């Protein structure tokens, strides 16, 4: 039975972190909301008053009867099954810690364009978004990227991957973060690769993987857009 991925149609969003793992592994999966009546099926589950173990928000994954929610938790579940988690049990918790840090970072990326309220339009919080983005560019990108760079450099198994000696779901998520930042803040990230060479090399290594290459060239990989987490609003980027 294929895995069922539930996520909003029309954007990469947080669902993309899960898609990259399923695609790299060549797993059998269905992107439910992109199929006919898929959105209705997803909303039915989200709003259900009778189903057990309902999720709060997408993305969530259905594996048979089991529903797993939250990106980091989904990857913690899928990683070992798809050969994309460390083999060492203890290192799986290290990978989970890294993924949860990525979750925190993604929430901060979201808050650059929605600093006041998720429910308000971007246009209604533009001034606050400018202030938030300026601080994000100045302090948070360097702090998080500097941290992930050190994680790579200080990996006792070598700096090719974030944890252990092989590719894991964390590496795929770091690829997505690198891509997303460059899309959202092209001016501020002009020199990202120079400042964080290990991360840049990891990004290129992931991008060159055959299944990822195939996926990125396919129609399943939607372009970044201004409905997702990583949005490009020129006025939020660093001044030219
Ligand atoms: N911590 C969750 C966050 C999930 C989340 O915020 N999902 C968004 C879409 S990317 C959503 O639909 N949120 C609805 C809401 O917060 O009301 C995760 O990492 O999966």
Q: Look at residue 195 and tell me if it is in a domain.
A: yes
Nearest CA to ligand 1 atom 17: 57
Cα(181) to centroid of ligand 1, in Å? 19
Q: Look at residue 221 and tell me if it is in a domain.
A: no
Q: Look at residue 229 and tell me if it is in a domain.
A: no
Q: How confident is the model at residue 41 (pLDDT cuts 50, 70, 90)?
A: very high
User: CATH code at 160?
Assistant: 1.20.1050.10
Secondary structure (DSSP) of 90-134 = HHHHHHHHHHHHHHHHHHHHHHHH-SS-TTS-GGGGHHHHHHHHH
Q: How confident is the model at residue 240 (pLDDT cuts 50, 70, 90)?
A: confident
**Most ligand 1 atoms within 8 A of CB, residue of 45, 46, 55, 58 to mutate:** 58
Q: Look at residue 131 and tell me if it is in a domain.
A: yes
User: Which residues are CB-contacts of 196 (< 8 A; sequence separation ≥ 6)?
Assistant: 145, 146, 148, 149
pLDDT in tens, 198-213: 999 999 999 999 999 9
Q: Domain count for the chain, please give it.
A: 1
Rounded Cα distance between 70 and 59, Å, is 6
Q: Look at residue 35 and tell me if it is in a domain.
A: no
Q: Which domain holds residue 179?
A: 89-209
To the question of pTM greater than 0.85 for the whole model, the response is yes
Q: Look at residue 99 and tell me if it is in a domain.
A: yes
Q: Look at residue 170 and tell me if it is in a domain.
A: yes
Q: Look at residue 26 and tell me if it is in a domain.
A: no
pLDDT in tens, 161-198: 999 999 999 999 999 999 999 999 999 999 999 999 99
């Amino acid at each position: 039975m294929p895995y069922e991925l539930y996520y909003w149609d029309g954007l990469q969003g947080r669902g993309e972190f899960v898609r990259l793992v399923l695609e790299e592994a060549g797993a059998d999966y269905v992107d439910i909301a992109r199929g006919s009546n898929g959105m209705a099926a997803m909303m039915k589950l989200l709003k259900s008053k009778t189903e057990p173990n309902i999720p709060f928000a997408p993305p969530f994954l259905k594996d048979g009867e089991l529903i797993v929610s939250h990106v980091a938790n989904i990857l913690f579940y899928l990683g070992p099954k798809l050969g994309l988690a460390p083999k060492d049990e203890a290192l799986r918790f290290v990978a989970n810690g890294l993924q949860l840090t990525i979750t925190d970072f993604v929430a901060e990326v979201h808050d650059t364009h929605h600093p006041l309220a998720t429910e308000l339009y971007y246009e209604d919080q533009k001034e606050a978004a400018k202030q938030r983005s300026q601080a994000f560019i100045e302090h948070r990108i360097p702090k998080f990227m500097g941290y992930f760079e050190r994680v790579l450099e200080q990996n006792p198994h070598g700096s090719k991957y974030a944890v252990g000696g092989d590719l894991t779901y964390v590496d795929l998520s770091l690829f997505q973060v690198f891509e997303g930042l460059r899309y959202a803040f092209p001016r501020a990230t002009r020199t990202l690769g120079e400042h964080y060479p290990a991360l840049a090399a990891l990004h290129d290594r992931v991008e060159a993987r055959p299944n990822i290459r195939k996926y990125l060239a396919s129609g399943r990989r939607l372009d970044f857009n201004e409905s997702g987490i990583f949005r490009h609003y020129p006025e939020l980027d660093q001044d030219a």
